[in-house]
Amino acid sequence: MTDDLCKAGIMIEELSKKTSEQAGSGEQIRDGAPIMEHVVAANLPTKYGKFRIHGYVNRLNGEHHVALTMGDVGDGRPVLVRVHSECLTGDVFGSAKCDCGDQFDAAMRMIAAEGRGIMVYLRQEGRGIGLINKLKAYALQDQGMDTVEANVALGFPPDMRDYTVGAEMLIDLGAKRLRLMTNNPEKISGLEKYGIEIVERVPIETKHKSASDAYMKTKKVKMGHILKTY
Ligand SMILES: [Zn+2]
């Protein structure tokens, strides 16, 4: 997921710090009391193959997040992982404004091809600003702003995503050494802070779409994403 405000990554350090202070999450982790509670696991057959779906609840704010796993992901071997932030417009509606849906699809196929891996699906729409604010930013983009300018115009930093939740879910699943599928270097440092080792960055290059061209260029130039095509 990577919408026009879908997600990416400037100022993550700063923000994670702020979020931790606000929510006490940093303290909670240091105290050994995780925020995320693993409340349920069930089989989930999909068009990509057979997964297990794990439901987590954030004990601080009640938010729900899920992880899909295939194979034995807790055996200590490096595991293929995608940490994907929800993008309703891209994941479900097939929006051409971003590459989120394509990245989700590519990651699910890569996990299925290996027969082992984890898709962490974080319900932090619009790089954490929420669905309605994301749509407001789209409206500003209709008037010529880029994704970063639109977020700032709405009073948000370019990226409000917090990787505490994802990191805790991965640790709970026994995955501490990752082959992380991402083009976003901030995501790597975001996870490494929690003692997770990224042994390899696995790039996800999706097909070029003219409608998302400007957005992808913004991600590359303003948000430090590693993209060969743009
Ligand atoms: Zn998106």
Tens digit of each residue's pLDDT (9 = 90 or more) over 188-221: 888 888 889 999 999 987 776 666 677 777 777 7
CA of 31 to the centre of ligand 1 (A): 35
Q: Is the pLDDT score of 62 beyond 80?
A: yes
pLDDT number for residue 186: 78
Is the sign of the CA dihedral 144, 16, 201, 206 positive or negative? negative
Q: In sequence order, what E strands does 25-167 have?
A: 36-45, 50-58, 64-70, 79-85, 117-122
Average pLDDT, the chain: 82
Is 91 one of the annotated active-site residues of the chain? Answer: no
- Residue among 4, 146, 161, 162 flagged as catalytic: 161
pLDDT interval class at 230 (50, 70, 90): low
Tokens standing for residue 1 = 């997921």
Listed by start position, the domains of the chain span 12-223
Closest CA to 154 of 141, 164, 165, 163: 141
pLDDT number for residue 8: 35
The average pLDDT across 52-77 equals 95
CA of 98 to the centre of ligand 1 (A): 5
CA distance 147 to 27: 32
CA of 6 to the centre of ligand 1 (A): 5
* N-term to C-term CA, the chain: 17
Tokens standing for residue 221 = 């130039």
- Helices 12-23 and 164-172 cross at an angle (nearest 10°) of 80
pLDDT interval class at 12 (50, 70, 90): very low
Higher pLDDT, 93 or 31: 93
Is 52 one of the annotated active-site residues of the chain? Answer: no
pLDDT number for residue 49: 98
CATH code: domain 12-223 is 3.40.50.10990
